Structure 1
């Protein structure tokens, strides 16, 4: 099956049909995409089943979507919502 193309903060990212956003991000080597409010600690997938809310993203303009539960669709625009997320991804 052909790859899907997502955009994380405007940067193209490949995904496979049937993957969740969290799986696509992890496959791309991105393990954190947001930080906690106070301590600014990196967050990404933790529980992987929608319980912990560590993997939140803005998806196509809708905030607070759980990456572990949201299926990837071609052309999705994903926003980390924070400049600090880039620092967390680079760590």
Structure 2
């Protein structure tokens, strides 16, 4: 688990996001993955076959291990997605459900 260097700093840049139904404090301008890494359970998705938990890995958008369900935008890379106040984020468990378009 990680922490902010300025942990005690109070600022106007604080936002609250909804992570799996729980409020989580974050700073405006940081990524979903960096917020997730400070949580006790820093995983973002469970694999379809074994349900093994995966955490952010490369932190630069190459590996796709940090895919998360972001409200209104579908599956996004958490390391490339910046937090917004009130953003709803869900961990992906198992295979993604796709609705046929036809």
Structure 1: gaps of 5 or more residues: 84-91
Residue 78 of structure 2 corresponds to residue 63 of structure 1 = no
Looking at secondary structure, tell me which structure has more helix per residue. Answer: 1
| Bigger relative CO (Cα 8 Å, ≥ 6 apart) | 1
Query: 2:50 matched to 1:30?
Result: no
Measured against aligned partners, the alpha-carbon deviations of 1:33-77 in whole angstroms (never above 9, x if no partner) come to 211111221112101000111101111132210000101111000
- The residue aligned with 1:52 is 63
For structure 2, list consecutive stretches of 5 or more residues without a partner in the other structure: 1-10, 95-102
> Which residue, out of 90, 93, 99, partners 1:79?
90
Counterpart secondary structure, 2:33? helix
- Aligned CA RMSD, in angstroms, stands at 1.6
C-alpha distance in structure 1 between counterparts of 2:42 and 2:21, whole Å: 18
TM-score (norm 2): 0.73
Task: Give the TM-score normalised by the residue count of structure 1.
Answer: 0.81
